[in-house]
Homo-oligomer: A and B are copies of this chain.
């Protein structure tokens, strides 16, 4: 698996916004991904809790990784996020699971939890799958 996924890892290592947000990808395979983000001051909103944009970014990263891991370029069309609990410290963990995949579209559910395994946000997203393979991958 690791070898098959290597070109994707190379691609994802060029994701500057994920790096800017200090997100670490932990696992990735076709239709699945897991990442974490250690909450720092830079992630906080005006109320001192983690900004919705930072939580969305974490969710979006596993969504994008899981969908691109099939080897064809997948771009986000639509995402919906429900914020269910404020987060303040420690790691946030996001896990993406594939709900369905067709030739052109695929849909994922992402759950973001904190270190106590409490749900922070739930996310649903759909990608459009282009014909082009990711460089170095077999689509």
Interface residues of A (CB under 8 A from B): 11-18, 20-21, 41-47, 50-54, 56-58, 60-61, 64, 73, 75-86, 99-100, 102, 104-105, 107, 109, 111, 119, 122, 124, 126, 128
Contacts and interface: CB of A to CB of B under 8 A. Distances in A.
Number of copies: 4
Contacts of A20: 20, 42-43
Given A17-B54, A51-B18, A119-B99, A84 B60 contact: no
Given A16-B44, A105-B128, 13 more contacts: A16-B41, A16-B42, A17-B44, A17-B54, A18-B53, A20-B43, A53-B58, A54-B57, A77-B126, A84-B105, A84-B107, A104-B128, A107-B122
